[in-house]
Amino acid sequence: MSEDFLTKGIIGVAIEVHTTLGPGLLENAYKECLYYKLCKEGFHVEKEKIMPLVFEEVKLDCGYRIDLLVEDRIVIELKSVVALNDVHLAQTLTYMKLGNYKHGLLMNFNVFRLKEGIRRIVNGY
């Protein structure tokens, strides 16, 4: 399954979750519901995947955790904020770099239409 096809499927499921719940909930509520729904749809999903930092050949657990990792390829970082900003993008890019993942989705569920709160990220690590 291509990353583009996979990403479109994830976005479709996220839109279903957002349509049902609407904006205004805590990030964790969206994460749990999206995790449940993606698993129900047959996706392989890891929740709160620990991402160690490698420094001088030592793996350090610094508390980095990917919200959701789908099919071992797509990093999903969820937010429920007034607006996405550069720090949110940097956080997502950091997870992608640490795990050597090329594709990511930064999703802000605190919007009227989820489509307006999604940023697709492709990086050449």
Domains of the chain: 3-122 (3.40.1350)
Q: What's the pLDDT score for residue 105?
A: 98
Q: Which residue in 58, 110, 59 sits closest to 85, CA to CA?
A: 110
Statement: residue 34 has pLDDT above 70: yes
Distance CA 75, CA 82 (A): 22
- What's the whole-number mean pLDDT along residues 92-117? 95
Q: How confident is the model at residue 79 (pLDDT cuts 50, 70, 90)?
A: very high
Statement: residue 1 has pLDDT above 80: no
Residue 20 phi/psi, 5-degree rounding, is: -75, -45
Statement: residue 19 has pLDDT above 70: yes
- What's the whole-number mean pLDDT along residues 83-102? 94
- What's the whole-number mean pLDDT along residues 51-72? 88
Token representation of residue 58: 């030592």
- What's the whole-number mean pLDDT along residues 97-106? 95
For β-strands 58-60 and 53-55, DSSP reports them as: antiparallel
Statement: residue 125 has pLDDT above 60: no
